[in-house]
Structure 1
């Protein structure tokens, strides 16, 4: 077994203790290692599947450093079923949506001189006991995690409960939770519960899957406004049709379309097998004010990025090309000479 890759699971909130600055991580919530570590979350991948009023979010985060304690918080609009996901999911999605590779020929000695095209790749595309004001709905052990589903009357009530139950709570969490609780969303809190001493969190986290009812396609982002470092999020949306991002976390950062098209993958059951992928980087997470929401696009036009790669064809190919060019020039010169002779003879 890959030494508890599962331990690298879905996690949340910020650094405290010993004056460590909170490093809010994913678009969905926050990441909080123990106060002795310097682990940071710098990005995440999420698959959002939607069909018939049911949404499923599968999430994995990218972590630098190691931590022996961690926790994660995820707001969802309705009661959620929580499960561990497929470790290989995002590797497959990356392969399905990667750019098409187009080779451009170049000939020695013209390589990288700008005569036959640049050698650089250019991208283009065609189109535990609850406190006051907290309702503990469910508690469970899931792999190495202790998972709790919470409802709450206020952000302060929920953060008090989290603090009482061993979570490290950054100062901004209560205020950032308040909009979700006002809208009657549920909070899923996940805490590392290792089965043996010495287990720690590092690397890319294995996915956690949450399934819940929703009348729209939404990916929660508002908690990320507490982040202090640049965050990159890639969201894959699997639905019956191509989708547009109709709301974005911060209007100053428009997500980049990576891919759109029908795909075949064991995790994407029909009819929700049309995949649309977006990515966005937030260098100033404090400007985030909203969640991602997606709606059906005007059409199902496919889109795939293209990367052009220059390939040198070698010395003999170059000689052949030069020789052919010389023959063409000679033939052209002969034709021109005959024309001039005829004109001079008139």
Structure 2
């Protein structure tokens, strides 16, 4: 794994030194760099795989700027297995779901006259009484991972603060709904391997596997974000899925792709990929997680990008033809003027 990719901050709740207001990132909480940094998270990619009551979430965050260290936090419905994932995964998903390019010919000088319509994209087909219970600690590549449960948001944030995190004021309240529902918290730290190195770019993908009765993508911690956030969620399941709950009811996710695909990470039967993206310009309005359920059918969808090309030979013919038309129209006009004048003289 290349250093520039490993040194990317981690996904969601690293806590910076006091006095620095962090920018939180979608889905997992927020990327919070060290006090001297200006790094901020502006987007996140997630692959959600679901079959037979088991869910896998693979995450990577896009980071602007650099920092010396970072961390994140991720709530999940049950005990999670945490692993490193394929470094090229999201590049391949982007390639699989990008728009289909359709080339169309045009013949100058008729191009741009509004004779063609619809030139834009179009649709294609803790144990009770225990404050904090640390279940597991491990090191995975550049990540130091802790799995824990807690009796309250305050208990968990106190633990995080004691263990080197600087906790935003809103975190305890935002964690409370998950802890009330007995969710597990995965806290992760990332730092460069050598002194003087910085974190930047895109975070190494990390995969969490856990039992779940539904397809869910946690979003409620993003309520603490202070800047606009964009999240793209790829859902790999047996069938096409619809979003049944939205983080912000006023923000409708855009469908990017739906269809069966071939990729080493998406083995049958979970080879039907549905991709959505959404931008939250007011993260404070987020009140829920994303949940997904099978759609009514498996109809495919792919965006279409139209590219208009000029046909050189026919354009030349069109120019000549247009010229002849103009010459003919001019000659006819002159003839009418001459006839009109000659009639006037004769009278």
> TM-score, normalising length from structure 1?
0.88
Does the CA-based 8 Å contact 2:78-2:210 persist in structure 1?
yes
Q: Which residue of 2 aligns with 1:282?
A: 280
The CA deviation at 1:287 is: 0.2
**Residues 1:159 and 1:143: Cα distance change in structure 2 (over 3 Å):** same
Does the CA-based 8 Å contact 1:15-1:21 persist in structure 2?
no
- For residues 81 and 171 of structure 1, the distance between their equivalents in structure 2, rounded to whole angstroms, comes to 29
Match of 2:235 among 234, 237, 247: 237
**Residues 1:9 and 1:82: Cα distance change in structure 2 (over 3 Å):** farther
Question: Does residue 311 of structure 2 align to residue 293 of structure 1?
Answer: no
Match of 1:220 among 207, 218, 221: 218
Q: Which residue of 2 aligns with 1:336?
A: none
**Mind listing any 5+ residue stretches in structure 2 that lack a counterpart?**
326-347
- For residues 196 and 326 of structure 1, the distance between their equivalents in structure 2, rounded to whole angstroms, comes to 70
Question: Does residue 113 of structure 2 align to residue 114 of structure 1?
Answer: yes
Does the CA-based 8 Å contact 2:192-2:199 persist in structure 1?
no
- For residues 324 and 21 of structure 1, the distance between their equivalents in structure 2, rounded to whole angstroms, comes to 66
Structure 1 residues 244-275: Cα deviation after superposition (integer angstroms, max 9, x where no partner): 00001000001011100000000001100000
The CA deviation at 1:32 is: 1.1
Q: Which residue of 1 aligns with 2:175?
A: 177
- For residues 202 and 138 of structure 2, the distance between their equivalents in structure 1, rounded to whole angstroms, comes to 23
- Aligned pair count? 322
Q: Which residue of 2 aligns with 1:199?
A: 197
- For residues 81 and 119 of structure 2, the distance between their equivalents in structure 1, rounded to whole angstroms, comes to 43
Structure 1 residues 5-61: Cα deviation after superposition (integer angstroms, max 9, x where no partner): 223253333665363222111312211100110100000000000011100000010
Q: Which residue of 2 aligns with 1:5?
A: 5
- For residues 153 and 162 of structure 1, the distance between their equivalents in structure 2, rounded to whole angstroms, comes to 14
Aligned residues: CA RMSD: 2.2
Match of 1:164 among 156, 162, 165: 162
Does the CA-based 8 Å contact 1:221-1:290 persist in structure 2?
yes
Q: SS of the counterpart of 1:224?
A: helix
**Residues 1:279 and 1:5: Cα distance change in structure 2 (over 3 Å):** same
Alignment of 1:63-102 (within 5 A): 63-102=63-102
**Residues 1:240 and 1:187: Cα distance change in structure 2 (over 3 Å):** same
**Mind listing any 5+ residue stretches in structure 1 that lack a counterpart?**
329-346
Alignment of 1:327-346 (within 5 A): none
Does the CA-based 8 Å contact 1:14-1:170 persist in structure 2?
no
Q: Which residue of 1 aligns with 2:269?
A: 271
